[in-house]
């Protein structure tokens, strides 16, 4: 068979993805050891895996150095790469939302310009354009909830999972942009050249995830 290369988002998603693949008999013992290595080959030699920074996974897949990528829908939307999204893996569930202090509800509906802090400028820009509101977007790299608390922004666009970070910082969800979860993306050329291998694998992963529900 053609060797298949996976780009995995380092961390929790990579671990979950490897559990799903293990259920299909695809194992990689080396990845289970304490190691700083980034590139691995499966025990049977048929698959390669590399551990990438989350936001880089769509890039590796777009350029075809990875056939398949496993990454969150938030990253797929924000990176906006030319890749095929073929499967919702169902884990890593959360949502993209507009959040802020409770008193910002009126401003959001007022038609006045809104200052938005976010790690996801493209998602935020698209959303406010679609909902026909004028915004100034301020890109942050983390701890976005600080934005409204210290007065940098009116609201944030960010991931909400348990809601704990918002709650502990006195913020609430004002608008849900969309639900998110881990997805499987595929390179368009790989989908043709390695059609049989990729098609079979995606199908088996889908069945396996369905059984786990």
* Binding region for ligand PRP (CB under 6 A): 142-145, 158-165
Please, what is the minimum distance in Å from the beta carbon of residue 71 to ligand PRP?
14
Cα–Cα distances in angstroms (integers) from residue 144 to residues 148, 150, 154, in the given order: 8, 11, 12
Please, what is the minimum distance in Å from the beta carbon of residue 192 to ligand PRP?
36
Q: Which residue number, 77 or 87, has a Cβ lying nearer to ligand PRP?
A: 77
Please, what is the minimum distance in Å from the beta carbon of residue 13 to ligand PRP?
12
**C-alpha Rg value of the chain to the nearest Å:** 19
The token pair at 205 is 């992963």
Name the β-bridge partners of 135.
114
Q: Which residue number, 134 or 143, has a Cβ lying nearer to ligand PRP?
A: 143
Please, what is the minimum distance in Å from the beta carbon of residue 10 to ligand PRP?
13
Residue where the block lists tokens 């990875």: 66
Q: Which residue number, 69 or 72, has a Cβ lying nearer to ligand PRP?
A: 72
Q: Helices in the chain by DSSP H: which ranges?
A: 12-23, 57-62, 73-79, 105-110, 121-130, 146-150, 164-168, 188-193, 195-212
Q: Which residue number, 9 or 18, has a Cβ lying nearer to ligand PRP?
A: 9
DSSP-derived letter for residue 136 is E
Please, what is the minimum distance in Å from the beta carbon of residue 14 to ligand PRP?
15
Give the nearest residue (CB) to ligand PRP. Answer: 142
Q: Which residue number, 75 or 190, has a Cβ lying nearer to ligand PRP?
A: 75
CB atoms within 10 A of CB 151: 9
Q: Which residue number, 94 or 191, has a Cβ lying nearer to ligand PRP?
A: 94
Please, what is the minimum distance in Å from the beta carbon of residue 167 to ligand PRP?
8
DSSP-derived letter for residue 182 is E
Spatial separation of the C-alpha atoms in residues 75 and 59, rounded to whole Å: 11
CB atoms within 10 A of CB 55: 15
């Amino acid at each position: 068979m053609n060797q298949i290369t996976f780009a995995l988002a380092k961390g929790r998603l990579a671990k979950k993805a490897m559990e799903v693949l293990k259920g299909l008999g695809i194992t990689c013992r080396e990845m289970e050891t304490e190691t700083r290595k980034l590139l691995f080959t499966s025990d049977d030699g048929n698959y390669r895996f590399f551990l990438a920074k989350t936001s880089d996974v769509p890039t590796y897949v777009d350029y075809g150095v990875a056939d398949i990528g496993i990454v969150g829908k938030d990253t797929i939307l924000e990176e906006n790469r030319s890749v095929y999204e073929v499967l919702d893996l169902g884990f890593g569930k959360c949502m993209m939302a507009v959040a802020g202090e409770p008193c910002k509800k009126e401003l959001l509906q007022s038609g006045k310009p809104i200052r938005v802090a976010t790690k996801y400028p493209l998602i935020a820009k698209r959303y406010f354009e679609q909902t026909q509101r004028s915004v100034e977007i301020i890109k942050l790299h983390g701890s976005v909830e600080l934005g409204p608390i210290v007065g940098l922004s009116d609201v944030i666009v960010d991931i909400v999972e348990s809601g704990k970070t918002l709650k502990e910082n006195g913020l609430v969800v004002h608008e849900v942009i969309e639900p998110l979860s881990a997805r499987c993306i595929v390179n368009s050329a790989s989908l043709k050249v390695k059609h049989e291998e990729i098609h079979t694998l995606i199908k088996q992963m889908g069945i396996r995830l369905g059984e786990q529900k």
